[in-house]
Amino acid sequence: MDALLAVAVAEARAGLASGGIPIGAALVGPDGSVWGRGHNRRVQDGDPSAHGETSAFRAAGRRRSYRGTTMVTTLSPCWYCSGLIRQFGITSVLIGECRTFSGGHDWLAENGVSVRILDDPECVSLMTDFIAARPELWFEDIGE
């Protein structure tokens, strides 16, 4: 597995282990170092805005520029997180999979963000197993 994706997957597994939704992310600096990492915390914090990407972004703290950074995420970023990526000028997005949920990655690519989708089987099984086990949690805020 891609080494950066492995960081996001470890976050997704930590989220699952603490009773949450298994989506993890990391914000990686231009030099390849991890600035921040995190996972979806909707269940743990009772906060529907605590997505994997926003958790990783907040963990990275204040930065002068996001040029050259990569948002690594186990799942295609939702509209809210896609907006965050564009708002702060994050250069690239590395996505574990977009089979179980398709968010804003096409829109990001159309607007100049470099998008890479790995179609990673571990990321797919994390979500399909979770949706099968806890459909009420997944469909709570997916907007369907």
Summarize as ranges the residues that interact with Zn ion (CB under 5 A): 51, 78, 80-81
Which residue lies nearer to Zn ion by CB, 7 or 42? 42
Contact 25, 5 (CB under 8 A): no
Angstrom distance (rounded) from CA 35 to CA 5: 14
Q: What CA–CA distance (Å, rounded) separates 1 from 72?
A: 13
136 is catalytic: no
Query: Distance between CA atoms of 27 and 19, rounded to whole angstroms?
Result: 23
Rounded to a whole number of angstroms, the minimum distance from the CB of residue 31 to Zn ion is: 26
CB atoms within 10 A of CB 108: 24
Q: What span, in angstroms and rounded, lies between the C-alpha atoms of 30 and 42?
A: 29
Work out how close the CB of 51 gets to Zn ion at its nearest, in angstroms, rounded to a whole number.
3
Q: What's the min distance (Å) between Cβ of 6 and Zn ion?
A: 20
Nearer to Zn ion, 129 or 141 (CB): 141
Closer Cβ to Zn ion, 21 or 28, answer by number: 21
User: Annotated active-site positions, please?
Assistant: 53
